[in-house]
Amino acid sequence: MKAMVYRRYGGPEVLEPAELPEPKTHVDSVLVRVRAAALNPADLALQAGALDQAVETYFPVVPGWDIAGVVERAGLAASEFAPGDEVIGYVRGEVQRAHGGLAELVSADVRSLVRKPSTMSFPEAAGLPLAGLTAYQAVVHALNIQPQELLLVHGAAGGVGSLAVQIARARGARVVGTASARDHDYLRSLGVEPITYGPDATERIRHLAADAVLDAAGNGALAAAPSHPGARVASIAEIGLPGVTAVFCRFDPRDFQAVADFAEAGKLTVRIGETFPFDRAADAQRTLAKHARPGKIVVLGPESS
């Protein structure tokens, strides 16, 4: 099968095309033909070797955790799915090996898949798993946002931030979000009150009686713009700050299904920054690294390119 792999740590320059054997499927796994795979900053970090001391890696590695595709074959104990079903998957494994999303086919544990929301295209749906799970766990578990509460989101137009504000709005919260001026119309379309980064934002936030704050931006956003003293605070970008709950994406099938249900109900959309054909996956990585496009960067599967 066609795949993109890296055989050593590095940047986009180490990504190369390869022909690999078709993945094997166990009784409780599903073979998925990939139609689209979304990229995440974590993909670049792993490829660069940033977690070499924590994650076992076996080369060659097929990168990519987020996929959308069509079931090719289901294992005997994977009765949840049948050939032809459209699915999305979070195919992160315990180790890095030739199993990721930048490939023609992926063998995935049945628990890592849910049905693709009918409201979404394959590229849109591919952008949902990691960012959607992180946003859901931040808003629902870490902050427990309730109806009528005021949530402030730093980095509200980003991959996780844009999904977090939609989930919070669906739970009945009022949402204020910081973002660059170019993203204000986008945030307004999501029902968010935008604030531009900068000195003016700091003053506005000082007087904002937020019940909760989510930092989806990092880069000292929480320190630069202190929130209401009684607010619950969580961050996906800063670790170890006093009084701040750090949010790490932990896979949970129930949370994944809840994210898909939000999308199916039309309460969650994914903004696509740019799509790339399969043979330009390295260019897609370069675009992601440069933060050159707002929205998710997606690589089409070999048969969709």
Q: What is the per-residue pLDDT across 7-53, written as a single tens digit (0 to 9) for each?
A: 999 999 999 999 999 999 999 999 999 999 999 999 999 999 998 88
**Same domain as 58, residue 10:** yes
Query: Which residues constitute the domain of residue 169?
Result: 131-246
**Same domain as 169, residue 66:** no
Altogether, the residues listed in the chain come to a count of: 305
Specify the CATH number for the domain of residue 100. 3.90.180.10
CA 102, CA 99: separation in Å to the nearest integer? 9
**Is residue 153 assigned to a domain?**
yes
Q: Is the pLDDT of residue 198 over 80?
A: no
pLDDT band at 197 (very low <50, low <70, confident <90, very high): confident
**Is residue 86 assigned to a domain?**
yes
The pTM score is 0.95
**Is residue 263 assigned to a domain?**
no
Residue 35 DSSP code: E
Q: Residue 60 is encoded by which pair of tokens?
A: 């060659």
Q: How much is the pLDDT for 218?
A: 86
Tens digits of residue pLDDT in 112-144: 999 999 999 999 999 999 999 999 999 999 999
- The strand order across the sheet containing 96-98 reads 15-19, 2-6, 57-62, 96-98
Share of the chain above pLDDT 90, in %: 82
**Same domain as 62, residue 24:** yes
**Is residue 110 assigned to a domain?**
yes
Q: Is the pLDDT of residue 97 over 90?
A: no
**Same domain as 77, residue 6:** yes
Number of domains in the chain: 2
Q: How many CB atoms lie within 10 A of CB 198?
A: 13
Q: How much is the pLDDT for 227?
A: 60
**Same domain as 203, residue 115:** no
Q: How much is the pLDDT for 220?
A: 82
Greater model confidence, 220 or 165: 165
The residues, any chain, with a CB within 8 Å of residue 43's CB and separated by 6 or more, are: 63, 64, 65, 285, 288
pLDDT band at 305 (very low <50, low <70, confident <90, very high): confident
Angle value at C-alpha 74, between 55 and 69, nearest 5 degrees? 70
Tens digits of residue pLDDT in 212-259: 999 999 888 887 666 667 899 999 998 888 889 999 999 999 999 999
Q: What is the average pLDDT value for the chain, to the nearest integer?
A: 93
